[in-house]
Structure 1
């Protein structure tokens, strides 16, 4: 079953399937048929042993491909242990990132966190109170899970730019080209810069465009294996001290638990004003002469790792988010800092990519020493060697995202 780099199995807690013995929740029959139509395995989870085929048949439901209870999990751990979902992966010969779980409790949520699997909270199982401490995707009815899967987890990951640099333990993934426009409403469109550079709140149907774009970035990275379990999330700082992109940070604050990761807004910090690279790009695109220093040296002299993390990063995987990248100076400086702090792997995820396949790898010259927890005032661009990198380039999932947003618009119109 491992041939597709998409979600291939949905594990569902039995309370999200059956509202009572012999009675299915409304919409479950259609949802399970939908899963079957997409060749997605339905896995049923129960704490206690159960004749799953008989129980589901009595409610008019198909049998699951796999049924697991506590007795089937090595060591018989309670719900909350990631072993439940790792057992599914082992039984079905899947990777953990090819599974999504639909749960009804905080313990189901913790099961997913501890396995690095995406969790969806089944809000239709209304006998369960929604736990305010949970940070999770949610669905009001079973069909909403189908929508979520169809628009975010059943399309092979596609990137405007991707590059794996195994020698430097560095990965780059950029979702979209910068000039793509998306539907907002009848006769109206918006572009990425409206959301991530200009900070506008764009509503598409009833959905926040920022959340839609960021969820697509995260779901693509999840399927691509670029969101390792227990990694640290951070945002590359804005050009002004003490600031990060609120469009990125606002989403990641809640999304950090999507695969059992941690968000640390202050991991990378800007200590001094730097040129606004987005503004400089815009000026130069208009033919204006650029005078600001936007070299990697400007990043080195103003960005460091927050000293409170000294000694705490060794062996970690850090995922650095940024809104746009061009040649990669910001994310390369982030990699340089984090590598110097003995991080195991750095993954850079950006919404947009200027310059198609253009990327420059920066390496400190031999003999150049930095303390990643202090500002490197002594560094200039000449302290780095550069290598042009040609990664994999493509259009990204812009066509699929346009279809998703058109779907949201149509759904809102039909609800009016």
Structure 2
């Protein structure tokens, strides 16, 4: 398989596949980066890819002829697909379009690239690239799941602005990020030290939706009801899920945090907006309701700023209940594995256990926000996990630690219980 002939990818034979997407322009830079690591790089292009970037460009960058034909008379015995399949240590397809993913997921071999993928025993990776709606389509997500089962590793996709004008998850990772992930994926094969652990990809092919941060419920154009949630725990969970291979949609209330790499972020303000965004990302495999959603909102929002009374009579606000987002998700016919959070100031386990049963959750993460140094706004936290097994409430406590580390421990536990 992969030849560990020195640092980086030196001596490794990489077959770079390019399919028909606008992100193909990034493939030239990727080919150059791979060559700079010392890898041997050969390129195979689909017919459609040649409409976006010319074979001559890739040939100049790699110093090797670019293959485009299934039966190439100039290839060894005219069987170029077998020759290339045996040559490659790694097959990396970037970009991988929705069409190419579908063909590979179903074993098609109707051009050179798909044929050699079926004929190879090399390590196979791909960097998906497509419109955000195409990525979220159930057929594409099912194909991603199937490719994972067939041994493919998906690098990305990333979230952000797209060539079509949309914003969302579906962009091809930048070439530098692809190279970094490729090196991370291969690191266990290059270092025989027992301290080196394989990169966890135990959420590959899974679709995860996470809520984070506070909600703001308007009273008038300048005032609102809210809470002290910073969103740090939810963002840490999103980062861990993305690192472990999941397709992550992060529905975020108003926070000042940076979006984790590879995560689709949907910004909302109120609880009703958050619920609508969550439902637009259903179905999914795992839902984590980490946001601190306001329980109530104003029955009516003042058109203008509410004025202070001239006497000391005070102000009475009429509030109505907000939708319960985590309970709504747990009550769906196509319900995902549903995890809730309980931020409490007293009788922690009693209140959290009640929510676990009442909202029909698979797991609840309870934390005492009255403890100094943890919880809202802090970089550290400590939680207790509660779940039902054999009609008994089970518990597992996680001690005070940075939220990034805590997120990994929580996801470890969730993964162990996912169907």
TM bucket, shorter chain: 0.3 to 0.5
* Higher RCO (CA < 8 A, seq sep 6+): 1
Provide TM-score, normalisation by structure 2. Answer: 0.36
